[in-house]
Amino acid sequence: MTEPKPSLSVVVPAFNEAAGIPDLAREMGAFLDAHAAVRPVQLVLVDDGSTDETAARMREFFGDRDDTTVVAHPHNLGLGAALETGGAAATGAYVAWFDSDLTYRPEILSALAARLDEGADVALTSCYHPDGGIEGVPAWRLALSKAASSLYQRLTRGDLHTYTSMVRGYRREVLAACAPQRGGFLAVTEVLLRALRGGYRCVEVPAVLARRRTGQSKMRILRVAFGHANLAAAWLLGLLKQPVPVDPAFARE
């Protein structure tokens, strides 16, 4: 018999995304059902203190799934905290992050997990990769992420193209070792920079980024831009300390 592949937990944070939950349930449900034939899979939905019906919609559309866990913050704590909460509830040997707005399709999670199977420590979805692409996203929405990714590419002298996309897969112990000190959207990039500083193998999976179907981004552009400047300075000054290795036994099947 073929040995089962390492288990995968998918963490999906959401804040005021009630309108998009039905589409997420349809597409993510299809992915979970299909990928369960490949490896054990878990979905962790995190309602980050939404003021709309996000939590209720999560329970309505996912409540009957045995492979899904729904957790909620009593009030909005930000993206970094939502990812941390989701990670604490995750049980997989691999932990992936996924956007609730479906700007990437859930099928990309299969490719991310496959790169981890091949030996990568971090697998990154990359729309800026030469084989990736962008469909229907306004240029002004991309300006900050393009500028930040270009800056980090120069600073790290690496061959990655995208540093700000949240849709990623990690070996569980690597994610724990690279836990960020910053919250909000900056946490996403900080984890990657800490992984690079620690010498972990980070690879990209080209993908197409599409316009979100419902709702609007929660990013505060000026605040995040200032945060990236601070994070870049921390890299230059050597303030992003090398991650502390975590015993691989921390990874659970």
- pLDDT, one tens digit per residue, over 115-153 is 999 999 999 999 999 999 999 888 777 887 899 999 999
Distance CA 183, CA 52 (A): 23
Residue 217 has pLDDT above 70, yes or no: no
pLDDT at 248 over 50: no
Question: Given this model, what pLDDT does residue 142 score?
Answer: 81
CB 16 within 8 A of CB 215: yes
Report DSSP state, residue 137: -
DSSP 58-116: HHHHHTT-TTEEEEEESS---HHHHHHHHHHH---SEEEE--TT-SS-TTHHHHHHHHH
* 230 CB-side CA count, 13 A: 12
Whether the predicted pLDDT of 236 surpasses 90: no
5-9, 90-94, 111-115, 156-160: lowest mean pLDDT where? 156-160
Query: Higher-confidence residue: 26 or 219?
Result: 26
Residue with tokens 């990039």: 189
pLDDT at 157: 92
pLDDT above 90: percentage of residues in the chain = 74
Average pLDDT of span 93-101: 97
Question: Is 178 within 8 Å of 194 (Cβ atoms)?
Answer: yes
In this prediction, residues 162-175 reach a mean pLDDT of: 96
pLDDT digits (tens, 9 = 90+) for 137-146: 887 778 878 9
Task: Tell me: pLDDT of 245 over 50.
Answer: no
Phi, psi of 54 (to 5 degrees): -55, -50
Percent of the chain residues topping a pLDDT of 70: 91
The CATH label, of 3.40.50.880, 3.90.550.10, 2.40.50.140, 3.30.450.20, for the domain at 8-243 is 3.90.550.10
Identify the pLDDT of residue 32.
97
pTM for this predicted structure: 0.90
What is the C-alpha separation between 145 and 84, in angstroms, rounded?
22
pLDDT given for residue 212 in this prediction: 75
Note the pLDDT of residue 253: 26
Window from 121-135, 150-164, 239-253 with minimum mean pLDDT: 239-253
**Residues with Cβ < 8 Å from 1, sequence gap 6 or more?**
none
Burial label for 55, CB within 10 Å (0-12, 13-18, 19+), is: buried
- Whether residue 47 contacts residue 60, with contact meaning beta carbons closer than 8 Å, is answered with no
Task: Please report the pLDDT score of residue 3 as a whole number.
Answer: 75
Q: How confident is the model at residue 161 (pLDDT cuts 50, 70, 90)?
A: very high
173, containing H or E segment: helix 172-177
